[in-house]
Amino acid sequence: MLSNAADFAHLYSSAGKIYIRSSPPRHGEMSPALEERLERVLAEDKGEHRACDMHVHSSSSYDVPTLARYHPMQKMVQAFEHGMYYFTLTDHNTIDGIRLLRDSLAAKGELGEKALSRVFPGVEIDCYVESLGRSIHTNVWGLTERNWKELSLLYDRSGEKPEMRDFPGLMSYLREEKLLYSFNHPFWSEVDDQPLQGILKRALPLPRFQNSFSLDIMSTAALFPEFPLVEKNGSRIEPLNDLAEYFAKLNGIPLVAGSDDHVGVELCRSYTLAPGETPREFLGNIPSHGRVVHRSLDADEAEAKAREVVRIYFGDATADKEFFSALTNVQLGRIMKRLTALWKPKYLTPAVETAFAKIGARIYLETQRTCLPPELLADGKTPMRVALERLTLDHKEEEE
């Protein structure tokens, strides 16, 4: 694992990136105003408070627009301002964001070195699991340059996005290298690879579609023992997080928390606390001494995220509007691009923006709800929350 700022400085010098974007994000370097914000927040006394949002994406992820406010440097300063002591990036299948951050901070002398001492690398790996018939995601933290080069060899690059296909091989490698990794949002199924018809059905809250996309819960749960940590995700609804926590506790696996933030709305809404004066100590203490501070996605947060996406898609001067396809579906993304080619408003009226945001929020929430059978969904306390409380009570009685 990464031990200190000196280690960090030489790790990311030569590896090629996995996912090739049409326009790599090279903007968003540290402005005087941003430098002042960083200096101020690093000077604040955090005491023994050691917090980190363990799941953050930047403009180096394929599904985040290449806008300055999503640059790794911006995300890092914002996380520190939210009270985080450590910072990591877990971009999809690339460490380019960490490289950009390293390069920007390396030119800032003592201030940059101080910031680097509180940053550790991470990556979110997509891996297809044959037994599930779908891909799962795992965050890996503290990996070195050698680790990334070796992991890069496991990728299948034949599709539109890189993906690993050797799940046993991946798990074996991470264990052998003693890296820290987690099972991310275990019961969430991606929508981007599904045909347009499936996306539309999944987004419509109709009873006859509700069982069409729910996952094989027990097959997914069978993978839990492969992981040292299970994630509670700030961008997933409560029933999905409750189910993940239930099987984690059933298997005696510790939890880790992260926001899974992409466009700044969820940043640091969920994070992990653990002791540690260095990134190495912090990561090493998470399995035994870590605790999570967590909020699941609710309707208000979903609308806030949808509103931000609407503003990006219709308002920002970016050539990266195809990111909508990465969030949803390639076919749907192409249709949206054609529609917006006919209508290019300079701005949205508040009423139109709100209408789009509400529609987007409903779709976003529904695509999560359809991952589970209806009997596990509830507006109040979820059935899995009840089961969790019973499981916790049983464990206490056993200890006594």
What's the full length of the chain, in residues? 400
Which amino acid is it at 8? F
For residue 180, the SS3 value is: strand
Treating both helix axes as pointing N-terminal to C-terminal, what angle do 145-152 and 167-176 enclose, rounded to 10 degrees?
Answer: 160
CA-to-CA distance for 132 and 214, rounded, in angstroms? Answer: 12
DSSP letter assigned to residue 237: B
Question: If 0-12 CB within 10 Å is exposed, 13-18 middle and 19+ buried, where does residue 140 land?
Answer: buried
pLDDT digits (tens, 9 = 90+) for 245-260: 999 999 999 999 999 9
CA-to-CA distance for 262 and 323, rounded, in angstroms? Answer: 11
pTM recorded for the entire structure: 0.86
pLDDT digits (tens, 9 = 90+) for 26-67: 444 678 889 999 999 998 876 677 999 999 999 999 888 888
Least confident of 18-32, 51-65, 348-362: 18-32
DSSP letter assigned to residue 92: B
CA-to-CA distance for 248 and 254, rounded, in angstroms? Answer: 7
Pair type for strands 155-156 and 291-293: unpaired
- Position 320 pLDDT exceeds 80: no
Q: Give domain limits for the chain.
A: 5-295, 301-369
For residue 250, the SS3 value is: helix
User: What was the pLDDT predicted at 377?
Assistant: 82
Chosen CATH of 5-295 out of 3.40.50.300, 3.30.750.210, 3.40.640.10, 3.20.20.140: 3.20.20.140
Find the angle CA(232)-CA(171)-CA(247) to the nearest 5 degrees.
35
Pair type for strands 180-184 and 229-233: parallel
C-beta separation of 189 from 240 below 8 A: no
Structure token pair of residue 236:
């997933």
CA-to-CA distance for 291 and 278, rounded, in angstroms? Answer: 17
CA-to-CA distance for 212 and 282, rounded, in angstroms? Answer: 42
The 10 Å Cβ neighbour count of residue 205 is: 13
For residue 139, the SS3 value is: strand
User: What was the pLDDT predicted at 124?
Assistant: 98
User: What was the pLDDT predicted at 138?
Assistant: 98
CA-to-CA distance for 60 and 356, rounded, in angstroms? Answer: 26
C-beta separation of 54 from 272 below 8 A: yes
User: What was the pLDDT predicted at 10?
Assistant: 37
Burial 127-138 (b: 16+ CB within 10 A, else e): bbbeebebbbbb
Helix (H) or strand (E) segment spanning residue 9: helix 5-11
Structure token pair of residue 260:
């899974």
Straight-line distance from the first to the last Cα atom of the chain, in angstroms, rounded to the nearest whole number: 37
**Residues paired with 140 in a beta bridge:** 123, 181
User: 361 or 348: which carries more pLDDT confidence?
Assistant: 361
- Position 17 pLDDT exceeds 70: no
C-beta separation of 290 from 274 below 8 A: yes
C-beta separation of 213 from 370 below 8 A: yes
For residue 32, the SS3 value is: helix
DSSP letter assigned to residue 17: P
Mean pLDDT to the nearest integer, 180-195? 83
- Position 299 pLDDT exceeds 60: yes
pLDDT digits (tens, 9 = 90+) for 197-225: 566 666 666 554 555 556 688 999 999 99
Burial 85-103 (b: 16+ CB within 10 A, else e): bbbbbbbbbbbbbbbbbbe
